[in-house]
Structure 1
């Protein structure tokens, strides 16, 4: 069964406190994380939306900083996508991406409006 998933991603205070070089490394890790999710078998990213121009500061809860909408084949692939936040190294790998941002997945189904 295909799941419609909204990955809600929030930047935290560690990113806000980062030096320019550290923030650049976080952006590079974020790109790697997104490519990892996009490369998972059974995952189709439908779009990514960013709130960064109308939200200032860390995302402690909703609203989030950015969102990834995807169709995902199974629950384990959703878990694997979230795991990229735990495993993607930032810079020299001392820290992982989850030091700087968080994710929560909302799982549902595509809404089909009857004619």
Structure 2
């Protein structure tokens, strides 16, 4: 009998780019709506458990061209195909009338690892 495969602990690092800051008020509102669909879309992927998120928009101003990112989603994901499906939401979700996709305004980078678990024997000697 084999033990179940542990979930991949995945940190989705999301950067907002200059196109969002250059958008009109109506366009920015449409981006936020698409962003909400993306967040829900990640949570609704089969086997995904969203553990939390963090928004850094109050202490970071302007576009995210590299680390530090604007916001993060931490989730347990069943496999790499699902990680890729979550990232693909940026390529496929339409903004507003659909002339542009979400990736015009935001980018994502997924960091994949495993939950850090300190063995009980190590914790007892610490």
Alignment of 1:1-115 (within 5 A): 1=5, 2-114=7-119, 115=123
Separation of aligned partners in 1, 2:71 and 2:92 = 19
TM-score (norm 2): 0.90
**1:72 CA drift (Å):** 0.3
Tell me the SS of whatever aligns to 2:108: strand
Higher Cα Rg: structure 1 or 2?
2
- The size of the alignment, in residue pairs, is 115
1:44-100 CA-to-partner distances (Å, cap 9, x unmatched) read: 100010000000000000000000000000010000000000000000000000000
Gaps of at least 5 residues in structure 2 are: none
Tell me the SS of whatever aligns to 1:29: helix
TM-score (norm 1): 0.98
Gaps of at least 5 residues in structure 1 are: none
Separation of aligned partners in 1, 2:20 and 2:105 = 5
How big is the alpha-carbon RMSD for the aligned residues of Structure 1 and Structure 2? 0.6
Superposition misfits of 4+ residues, deviation over 6 angstroms: none
